[in-house]
Structure 1
Amino acid sequence: MIKLKNSIYFFLILFFLIGCQANDNAANDPSFTKLSTTSHNQHLSNQIKDYLASDKDVTTISAVNAGKDVIVTIEIPHMKRFRLATIREKLEKDIKKEFNLDKVEVSTDQKIIMELDKLEKRIERDAITEDEIKKEVGRIMKLSKEET
């Protein structure tokens, strides 16, 4: 009976330790898709994705630009969500400085992440015009500033 009890404790502790391990690969390899299209210039957003890829706080990146207006969404590891506001502000400031931009919006809101992902897919398929991209970027920026 005592052996069984000790075995159960051992497995509980083992499972607890395995579950608490951090996934270092996710923090080192952020996922993003470079937009490659012939009819839309998304070179700036691709450069921003490359720039943010080296940041250890970022796991997923999406970005779309309409001229010099850029919206970026990021996802960060769960344990770093306590510093969410400071990470977002720092990245926004760094992007503005690095790429000499005035209008940059960095968001971690899931609603904005989904909207930007849809827009990226439409751009990739060439199913959207430049004017529609400008309207969508403006709409998503406005949406990201709303308080929920």
Structure 2
Amino acid sequence: MKDKTIKLIIFLIILTAIGLSSGCNGNLNQQVSENNDMNIEYVHTSGPIDQTVANQSKEKVVKKEEISSVKAVNTDKELLLAVKVHQFDRFRLKSIKKKLKLDIEKMHPEYKIFVSTDQKIYLELEQLEQKLQKDHTQMKSLKKDFDKIKSLMKEKA
């Protein structure tokens, strides 16, 4: 009887160890795949508006581990950047914004940089990116939409 009890206890310990180790491995693989799934939507325009500064900034920002996605649009002298931050990192929004702004200013010192973590600004920039890709948006129209988004950012501040 004592021999059966010891075998049962050893079996339960081994079963628990296998269950715990397999549960931990699955979660680790999920985190790795989340970081690899980040994709950048580049803004390609066929008109006179060049978005390479916005695309370069997106590449730099999306590499940060606290950023889940990014949208950006630039004019000839200004760059608007909106980011989505992972849920746990939302406690550090101010420091993340400040660090991103400094990094982008080092990359493009000739541009005035505006960084936002607000969801509404993110959606507005997403619409502006789509508008730039679909039709031949003129610089005047882009600046009008750009100023509208900047005024929304000032309202939130």
Q: 1:74 aligns with which of 60, 83, 90?
A: 83
Q: Which residue does 1:62 correspond to in 2?
A: 71
Task: Determine the C-alpha separation between the residues in 1 that align with 2:94 and 2:34.
Answer: 21
Q: Which residue does 1:105 correspond to in 2?
A: 114
Q: 1:87 aligns with which of 90, 96, 99?
A: 96
> 8 Å contact 2:79–2:111 — kept in the other structure?
no
Consecutive unaligned residues in structure 2, runs of 5 or more: 1-19
Specify the SS of the correspondent of 1:36.
coil
Larger Rg: 2
TM-score, structure 1 normalization = 0.79
Q: Which amino acid aligns with 1:125?
A: K
Task: Determine the C-alpha separation between the residues in 2 that align with 1:143 and 1:80.
Answer: 23
Q: Which residue does 1:31 correspond to in 2?
A: 39
Q: Which runs of 4+ in 1 moved over 2 A?
A: 21-32
How far apart are 1:73 and its partner, in Å?
0.5
Task: Determine the C-alpha separation between the residues in 2 that align with 1:110 and 1:96.
Answer: 22
Bigger fraction of residues in helix? 2
Q: 1:53 and 2:57 equivalent?
A: no
Q: Which residue does 2:127 correspond to in 1?
A: 118
Q: 1:69 to 1:82 in 2, by over 3 A?
A: same
How many residue pairs are counted as aligned between the two chains? 132
How far apart are 1:108 and its partner, in Å?
0.9
Task: Determine the C-alpha separation between the residues in 2 that align with 1:135 and 1:102.
Answer: 18
RMSD value, Cα: 2.2
Deviation per CA, 1:67-99, whole angstroms, max 9, x where unpaired?
120000101110111111110111011111221
Task: Determine the C-alpha separation between the residues in 2 that align with 1:147 and 1:36.
Answer: 29
Q: Which residue does 1:134 correspond to in 2?
A: 143
> 8 Å contact 2:70–2:81 — kept in the other structure?
yes
How far apart are 1:52 and its partner, in Å?
1.3
Specify the SS of the correspondent of 1:114.
helix
> 8 Å contact 1:31–1:61 — kept in the other structure?
no
The percent of aligned pairs where both chains have the same amino acid is 31
How far apart are 1:29 and its partner, in Å?
4.3
Q: 1:28 to 1:56 in 2, by over 3 A?
A: farther
